[in-house]
């Protein structure tokens, strides 16, 4: 479909048809979104936003209060003269689908909730859907786009809105991917979507002259990339991510964090994360960022015996002597 470049979008339609999902998608495209705004305030809100440098505005509008209907029509008529254009996105769905959605979420239909202090209206959900559909009929007549969400998932509706209103350039917000290097001894990143452990690679920590250098230094990089399996690992991860990233994005994911971990987060994970991010940047269609979370953490790691018979990692002053090689931490 051709992208809609209107500066003002009114999102309306049946409750349960996906208005919140649509507004969230528009927000991700850079629209300033306001939901459940009284129609009498619509024109003033758009004017204030435009005067403050906000060029794209999305307004969620419903007519659950009967008195709002006439003012909602007046608001839409007034916005039709906006110099940058107006779109009215009307979301619809079959009655039985709406009823099922309210049953699944266990929320009351807004048409069944009376004024504060008066409780429920005594109507059933199908009655509320029918009443709301009748009340929205005049608004539907002004719609520039009607979307039937009966067969759509949340992700499907999000994709539809993004394709419909994304204009490219700064308005087009693709999924942002971060590659984060970290040390397991400092904790796994809480926002990690995918996590890979690279502690099987040769450890520069046990090589004289490399221990104190971070993984951003060429000598450390060369050492790690010469490790048995390093190039194969990065190649496998590259192919996996080039396959998976566009599918994550298609499902509506806005952010993805890929965590690469070694023991201390200063050597192996830094090298692998950097190499992988560089390869992805050369081939992926969206932004790839990189963060070395623990590369600046200092301290020498030694092994000490504890009461359980296991070993604990402690930071100490002078370096300890090591004889085991890469299988030992960090």
Angstrom distance (rounded) from CA 223 to CA 245: 29
Residue 147, strand partner residues: 91
Biggest CA-to-CA distance, the chain: 83
Cα(56)–Cα(146) distance, rounded to whole angstroms?
A: 20
Looking up tokens 């030992």, which residue turns up?
A: 328
Beta pairing partners, 178: 257, 289
Q: What per-residue confidence (pLDDT) applies to 273?
A: 96
How far from the centroid of its chain's Cα atoms is residue 132's Cα? 32
CA 113 to chain centre: 33
Q: DSSP assignment of 227-286, as one string?
A: STTHHHHHHHHHHHHHHHHHHHHHTT--EEEEEEEESSSSSHHHHHHHHHHHHHHHH-SS
- Give strand ranges (E) for 61-114: 86-92
Quote the pLDDT of residue 172. 47
* CB within 8 Å of 230: residues ≥ 6 apart: 201, 224, 272
CA–CA dist 211, 246 (Å, integer): 38
Q: With residue 52 as reference, give the H or E element that holds it.
A: none
- Residue 79 has a pLDDT of 82
3-state DSSP assignment of residue 146: strand
Per-residue pLDDT, 1: 53
Q: What is the pLDDT of residues 64-110, one digit of tens each?
A: 655 566 788 888 888 887 777 788 999 999 999 989 988 887 777 77
- Domains in the chain: ranges and CATH: 8-171 (3.40.50.300), 176-297 (3.40.50)
Q: What distance in Å separates the CA atoms of residue 90 and residue 105, rounded to the nearest whole number?
A: 22
> For the chain (length 330 residues), average pLDDT per consecutive 10?
72 91 92 88 87 89 66 83 82 91 81 56 79 87 89 88 72 75 93 94 93 93 95 96 90 85 95 95 85 78 32 35 41
End-to-end CA distance of the chain: 53
Residues 85 and 76: their CA atoms lie apart, in Å, by 11
Q: What are phi and psi of 267, to 5 degrees?
A: -120, -80
Encoded tokens for 325: 């090689």
DSSP 189: -
pLDDT 10s digits, 18-29 = 999 999 999 988
- Bridge partners of 72, per DSSP, are none
pLDDT of residue 47: 87
- How far is CA 228 from each of CA 42, 231, 232, 237, rounded to the nearest angstrom? 64, 8, 9, 16
**CB-based burial label for 22 (10 Å; 0-12, 13-18, 19+):** buried
Which among 317, 323, 257 has a CA at the least distance from the CA of 293? 257
Nearest to 291 by CA among 187, 185, 181: 181
- What are residue 33's phi and psi, to 5 degrees? -110, 135
Q: CA 8 to CA 189: how far, in whole Å?
A: 39
Integer angstrom CA distances of residue 221 from 21, 22, 216, 267, 296:
45, 45, 7, 8, 16
Q: Determine if the peptide bond prior to 278 is cis (ω within 30°).
A: no
């Amino acid at each position: 479909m051709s992208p809609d470049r209107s500066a003002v979008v009114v999102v309306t339609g049946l409750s349960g048809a996906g208005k919140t999902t649509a507004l969230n998608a528009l927000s991700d495209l850079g629209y300033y979104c306001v939901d459940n705004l009284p129609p009498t305030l619509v024109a003033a809100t758009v004017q204030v936003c435009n005067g403050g440098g906000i060029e794209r505005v999305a307004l969620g509008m419903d007519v659950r209060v009967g008195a709002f209907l006439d003012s909602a029509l007046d608001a839409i008529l007034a916005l039709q003269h906006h110099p940058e254009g107006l779109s009215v996105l009307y979301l619809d769905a079959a009655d039985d689908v709406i009823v099922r959605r309210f049953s699944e979420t266990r929320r009351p239909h807004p048409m069944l909730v009376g004024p504060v202090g008066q409780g429920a209206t005594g109507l059933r959900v199908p009655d509320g859907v029918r009443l709301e559909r009748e009340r929205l009929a005049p608004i539907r007549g002004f719609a520039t786009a009607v979307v039937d969400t009966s067969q759509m998932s949340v992700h499907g509706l999000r994709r539809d809105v993004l394709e419909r209103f994304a204009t490219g350039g700064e308005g087009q917000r693709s999924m942002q991917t971060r590659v984060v290097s970290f040390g397991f001894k400092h904790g796994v990143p809480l926002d990690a979507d995918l996590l890979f452990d690279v502690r099987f690679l040769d450890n520069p920590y046990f090589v004289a002259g490399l221990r104190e250098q971070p993984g951003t230094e060429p000598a450390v990089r060369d050492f790690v990339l010469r490790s048995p399996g390093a190039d194969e690992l990065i190649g496998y991860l590259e192919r996996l991510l080039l396959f998976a990233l566009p599918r994550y994005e298609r499902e509506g994911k806005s952010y993805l964090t890929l965590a690469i971990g070694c023991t201390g987060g200063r050597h192996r994970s830094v090298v692998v994360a950097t190499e992988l991010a560089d390869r992805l940047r050369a081939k992926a269609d969206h932004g790839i960022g990189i963060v070395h979370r623990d590369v600046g953490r200092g301290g020498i790691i030694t092994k000490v015996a504890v009461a359980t018979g296991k070993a604990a990692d402690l930071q100490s002053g002078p370096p300890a002597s090591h004889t085991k090689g890469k299988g030992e931490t960090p």
